Amino acid sequence: MTTLSNVKQSPSVGSSAKPAVFVDGASGTTGLGINERLRLQNDVVVKSIAEERRKDADAKRALMEEVDLVILCLPDDAAKETVALIDSMGAGAPRVLDASTAFRVASDWAYGFPELAPDQADKIRAARKVSNPGCYPTGAIALLRPLVDTGLLPADYPVTVNAVSGYSGGGKSMIASFEDGTAPAFELYGLGFEHKHVPEMQLYSRLTRRPIFVPSVGNYRQGMLVSVPLQLETLPGKPGAAELHDALAKRYAGSRYVSVMPLENEAAKSGRIEPEALDETNMLELYVFASDKHHQAVLVARLDNLGKGASGAAVQNMRLMLGLPEK
């Protein structure tokens, strides 16, 4: 992985200079969310470019020479162009955190899910380039990776991931259609089996068999549920709920932002769980619902698709990359 030996270093914690950040593409939902979160923090300086010069490569380059970190909230092609510009800057290049899907499975980029593995946060701190995860993969990987790592779930298991998100994750046209009342109340999508989140979902879950992913969108603004059904008798050792829960709890012990909920909880008692409880937070909750009678389980992740699924995660990664404490 490329490190910072040949690029500009960020100010160290405790120095008089605050690190400077440029959010490129601040008009979309992720960029707006990042800027809103940054306004609540006093230990970074946010720099911007005049709207009429936003596509001026020279103006952008000049601004990027002044900052320690660039956060890209751009479409894939535009993100690739900007990264190429950053790469051409040599020792004056800032570090880069990209929120698009352009580099999420690139081998020379660190994956920006700090809770992925015990050493992942350190990889993010050291990396020159970090890819911010997708919202759906954040939930799926959080559920699957610990089970694959411990051998409870074979890497070639035929995994199915079902998920529902609020419409804010679908871009400007989807948001407009829901807010003007022309969109349906609920719909499945991605039924061509080519959803752009599948590659990172498979890679970072360490699955050797491509999972089936069925996303959906509901008529509410934000909040997400990601679920993975399991036939427990088909798994090695036929694990029960306690073993699945223990594997998740051990992986995320001590995590500030990821919580493994007790087996006995209000959702388990009611048999229901709703998607909006974590809106406007960077939190991620993981649940194990299981039936000993039927030897079946459903793993569920709940998060804000604009929080831990996008802007919240970006700010968490930004703070790691700049050597700032969790906040």
Check 70, 110, 135, 161 and give the catalytic one: 135
User: How are beta strands 20-24 and 69-72 bridged, if at all?
Assistant: parallel
| Per-residue CA distances from 86 to 6, 9, 82, 280 (Å) | 13, 15, 6, 31
Per-residue DSSP letter, 127: B
* Cβ neighbourhood burial of 206 (10 Å; 0-12, 13-18, 19+): middle
| Active-site residue, 135 included | yes
Exposure pattern of 233-266 as b/e (b: 16+ CB <10 Å)? Answer: eebeeebbbebbbbbbbebbeeeebbbbbeeeee
Q: CA 223, CA 220: separation in Å to the nearest integer?
A: 8
Residue 234: helix, strand or coil by DSSP?
A: helix
- Report the largest interatomic distance among the alpha carbons of the chain, rounded to a whole angstrom: 65
Just list the catalytic residues. Answer: 135
